[in-house]
Amino acid sequence: MLYLLTNIGAWLGIAILFGLGVLLDYKNLKKINILTMTVTSLLIALSVILTNLIGYTIPITGGIRLALGNFLIFVVGMLFGPFFGVMSGIATDTLGALVNIQGTYHAGFAFNLAFYGFMGSVVFLFKNQRFWIIKTIMLYIITFVLISFGFNVLWLYSIGWNFVVLGATFIAKAIKFPIQMAIYLPMAISSFTILYKLITSRHSINLWCAENRSLKLILIRFKKRISCFWAIWFWTSILLPIKLKKYKSPDK
């Protein structure tokens, strides 16, 4: 019964986020272009790969799994607005469910990703864009805490993961929280900065983040250093250990 009720609640939540996305971004929906759809599709695909093919393969204590690609859905919302943010979250969860078919499907996980996309758009919802980095940090932390310590607990408990309500699981999450924020926040901010500069330097399209005024990014001058740093970090800390693990001979 709880499983059914939580699924209904999750779908209602998705419908509300979708409706708000259409309402807030109604003007831009008439100007959808190929570039927006292409960049969004690439970020969705990358999010699916990072979360389902890489993040879920990294063992974490307490049954907790890393969702490495969720920050990209947040970035979609920052760049293209609430409608694309919500839709990218739904698409990412659907593709992820097809790629990683383990366990029981729950609509709550689609709501989580749609919520990430919607909250990303809230960063630039108002005209004052001077403190966008601070707003990004605050909104991402709020979103992560609500999902990790709230919604996810309810969804997992409803499908029979009773251990998620135990104190040990919350302690493990609390210990991991600052480490995750130290990873996700710089990646979200740097990814947004680089993508914004790349898009606006070559194309004249109306982005959600620059709808009210031209966005000034103080980090643009460091975009090459930032991109190189995160590329090196991602390869050495995630991809390389996984590849080495594949080719490592078994202990005798």
Q: How far apart are CA 243 and CA 252, in angstroms?
A: 20
Summarize pLDDT for 149-160 with one digit per residue, the tens: 999 989 988 888
111 assigned to some structural domain? yes
- Number of structural domains the chain divides into: 1
CATH number at residue 137: 1.10.1760.20
Higher pLDDT, 192 or 217: 192
CA nearest to 13, candidates 163, 123, 155, 142: 155
Can you give the pLDDT at residue 127?
Answer: 72
Can you give the pLDDT at residue 45?
Answer: 93
Q: How far apart are CA 133 and CA 138, in angstroms?
A: 9
pLDDT, average across residues 178-195: 92
| pLDDT score of 171 more than 50 | yes
175 assigned to some structural domain? yes
pLDDT, average across residues 129-150: 93
- Alpha carbon dihedral 44, 49, 54, 55, in 10-degree steps, equals 20
170 assigned to some structural domain? yes
| pLDDT score of 112 more than 70 | yes
Structure tokens at 75: 């970035």
pLDDT, average across residues 116-145: 92
241 assigned to some structural domain? no
240 assigned to some structural domain? no
Q: Is 30 exposed, middle or buried (0-12, 13-18, 19+ CB in 10 A)?
A: exposed
- Return the residue matching tokens 């190929």: 34
252 assigned to some structural domain? no
In angstroms, the Cα distances linking 82 to 27, 86, 115, 184, 192 are: 12, 6, 9, 20, 15
Torsion sign (Cα): 108, 111, 113, 116: negative
Domain around 28: 2-235
211 assigned to some structural domain? yes
To the nearest whole number, what is the mean pLDDT of the chain? 81
Can you give the pLDDT at residue 207?
Answer: 86
247 assigned to some structural domain? no
